[in-house]
Amino acid sequence: MVMKSRDSKFSLSRRFGAGLWVALVLVAGLAWAAGQVMSVQVRTSNLRSRPSFLGATVTEMAYGTQVRVGSRQGPWVHVTGPNGQTGWLHESALSEDELAMVSGEAVAATGASSEEIALAGKGFNDQVEQEYRQQNRDLDFQTVDRMEKIVITPEQAAAFLAAGQVKPAEGGR
Amino acid sequence: MKRFLTPPRITWLVLTLMITASAIWWLAGCASVAKFTTDAAKATGHISEDEAESLHRGIDAIDLTFQGLTPVQEYYIGRSVTARMLSSYDTYDNELTNRYLNEIGQTLAMASDRPETFGGYHFQLIETDEINAFAAPGGLILISTGMLDLCHTEDELAAVLAHEIGHVVGKHGLRAIKNSRLTSALTILGTESARHFGGSDLKQLVEDFGSGVEDITSTLLVNGYSRGLEEEADQIAITILKRVGYDPKALSSMLAEMEKRLKVGGPGFARTHPAPRDRIVAITPALIGLPDQIEPEVRYKRFEDATWKP
């Protein structure tokens, strides 16, 4: 009787231990799966050939593009795009949320429905800005639009630094 | 067949649920009791509205409401803040100078801890002798010609831009929005099931948006950020300058020139920023031991060419 009781206690703790492992594996598995797909959360992001701010551009990725996440190096994340393109994106360009399109331009490019666009822009969005502009006609949005048109590419940045003999820290960032 | 819910298991389950529920209740209770107390203190005139607001902000720190804004929302706030600032200042529209400003600024931003914002970083000169610069959420940055004039080298100009980028990286502008605007907006978003806002919801949302934009512009124009946030922006600037290869000591020499030129009680940085000499003292430990850099001739020449004003 004594032996039996010890046996059952042993098997109970063993079962508990096994259960704990199963739970841990499940949690880890879920976390791993959740981190697998991320979305580009900026208008366009440059997919880089190497994990550095001076890494050359492989291709541009638009807002809402879903990428499969691989390894990480500091703030840089190795990703695979929907067409199989691979490269590095900075973590600040990525969101764990699934994002839809936001602007008219994006619609034209992707053929997303107007419903998807409205959903994506929930909150302070283009509709709110338009309304705000109606109420504040003296604000200078024209210059803001003009400012946004000046874009320096990573390649132009690298050339600019080289021309000025500015030497980035070893390995870049 | 074995029962899943044996008595010991039920006991554990109930205990776990009770502990979780009481923890949630306790956390929520602390915040609401503290809020009630500050509201009461405000009502009885013991503290001002601003003080109550900042206390609430402390209490709500656990929510980090401004952190809940997406890059898209930050982008729209930043656009309107910049449009507001631009209605108070004329732009200085020399194409070469503005291009040069963006080459330096956007390159620095790429090397920051937050290179990607929804609309990206963009820089524009404004025409005024005031020593001033403004960074709106999302990365729209305005630099005064008065600020440009006090820079002797590209490295010093880079230091000015890196400091402003520091404010964007640290989301300092968004922190200036009073929490009440965000909680109001988030409440609408929480209840809003329609895909497009209509009627009263849109009206309230636009009002919250406008108030948030005002909170930020008045901080940029009148009140300035706290000393702590300014020091944080300086530290971020030093990190960025090091990564890109500019001389971090240029921040110190630029501040020394600013100290000479700022008029006590004058507009711009004299009003909204800690004294340059105090900022120099704060950054000095981070600059000790760094090698002296000599600006190459080619870099000096392009700075002169791009910033020359007839």
Name every residue whose Cβ is closer than 8 Å to that of residue A76 and which is 6 or more positions away in sequence.
A48, A51, A52, A88, A89, A90, A91
Q: Is A170 within 8 Å of chain B by CB? A: no
Q: How confident is the model at residue A169 (pLDDT cuts 50, 70, 90)?
A: confident
Mean pLDDT of A41-58: 95
Which A positions 102-121 lie with beta carbon below 8 A of chain B?
A: 102, 115, 118-121
CA A140 – CA B218 distance, rounded (Å): 17
CA A130 – CA B172 distance, rounded (Å): 25
A-to-B residue pairs, Cβ atoms closer than 8 angstroms:
164
Tell me the HSE value of A132 on the side-chain side, using a 13 A CA sphere. Answer: 27
Residue of A nearest to B204 (CA): A128
Q: Is B2 within 8 Å of chain A by CB? A: no
CB contact under 8 A, A148 and B106: no
Residues of B in contact with A136 (CB under 8 A): 84, 210
**Angle formed by the axes of helices B227-244 and B276-287, to 10°?**
40
Residue of B nearest to A40 (CA): B118
Mean pLDDT of A66-92: 96
CB contact under 8 A, B196 and A127: yes
Q: Is B80 within 8 Å of chain A by CB? A: yes
CA B259 – CA B270 distance, rounded (Å): 9
Residue B194's pLDDT is 41
Classify residue A111 as exposed, middle or buried by CB count within 10 Å of its CB (0-12, 13-18, 19+).
exposed
pLDDT per 10-residue tile (average), chain B, 310 residues:
62 63 46 40 46 42 63 95 96 97 98 97 97 96 97 98 98 88 72 55 86 93 91 97 97 96 85 92 96 94 90
Q: What is the mean pLDDT of chain A?
A: 79
Higher pLDDT among residues A42 and A102, named by residue: A42
CA A171 – CA A164 distance, rounded (Å): 19
User: Across chain A, how many H-helices and E-strands are there?
Assistant: 6, 7
Residues of B in contact with A148 (CB under 8 A): 119-120, 122, 140
Coil/strand/helix, residue A57? strand
Q: Which residue has the tokens 């404004």?
A: B126
Which A positions 37-96 lie with beta carbon below 8 A of chain B?
A: 41-43, 45, 53-54, 63, 75, 90, 92-93, 95
| B244, β-bridge pairs | none
Mean pLDDT of A115-131: 68
Residue of B nearest to A62 (CA): B118
Q: Is B227 within 8 Å of chain A by CB? A: no
Q: Is A165 within 8 Å of chain B by CB? A: yes
Residue A104's pLDDT is 43
Q: How confident is the model at residue A97 (pLDDT cuts 50, 70, 90)?
A: confident
Determine how β-strand A66-73 pairs with β-strand A76-80: antiparallel
CA B83 – CA B132 distance, rounded (Å): 17
Nearest to A138 among B87, B111, B202 (CB): B87
Distances in whole angstroms, Cα of residue B99 to Cα of each of A160, A164, B255: 11, 15, 24
Nearest to A150 by CA among B124, B125, B86: B124
Q: Is B76 within 8 Å of chain A by CB? A: yes
Residue B123 near residue B99, CB atoms below 8 Å: no
Amino acid at A54: L
Residues of B in contact with A75 (CB under 8 A): 113
pLDDT digit string (tens) for A132-154? 999 999 999 999 999 999 999 99
CB contact under 8 A, B115 and A90: yes
Q: Which one of B244, B299, B301, B302 makes the best mutation probe of the A interface by having the most chain A beta carbons within 10 Å?
A: B244
Residues of B in contact with A90 (CB under 8 A): 115-116
Amino acid at B33: V
The ipTM, to two decimals, is 0.77
Q: Is B72 within 8 Å of chain A by CB? A: yes
pLDDT digit string (tens) for A6-45? 445 445 556 666 666 666 655 554 544 445 899 999 999 9
Angle at B157 between CA B152 and CA B162, to 5 degrees: 150
CA A112 – CA A153 distance, rounded (Å): 27
Residue A35's pLDDT is 54
Residue B205's pLDDT is 86
Q: How confident is the model at residue A90 (pLDDT cuts 50, 70, 90)?
A: very high
Supply B57's token pair: 């902000």
Residue B164's pLDDT is 98
Nearest to A53 among B110, B185, B205 (CB): B110
Residue B189's pLDDT is 67
User: What are the backbone angles phi and psi of residue A22, rounded to the nearest 5°?
Assistant: -60, -45
Distances in whole angstroms, Cα of residue B196 to Cα of each of A56, A102, A106, B296: 40, 13, 18, 56
Q: Which one of B80, B121, B157, B186 makes the best mutation probe of the A interface by having the most chain A beta carbons within 10 Å?
A: B80
Nearest to B76 among A124, A164, A172 (CB): A124
Residue of B nearest to A171 (CA): B243
Structural domain boundaries of chain B?
A: 10-62, 73-174+223-307
CA A118 – CA A127 distance, rounded (Å): 9
Checking if the pLDDT of A82 tops 60, the result is yes
Residue B38's pLDDT is 41
Distance of CA A89 to the CA centre of its chain: 8
Residue A94's pLDDT is 96
Residue of A nearest to B181 (CA): A124
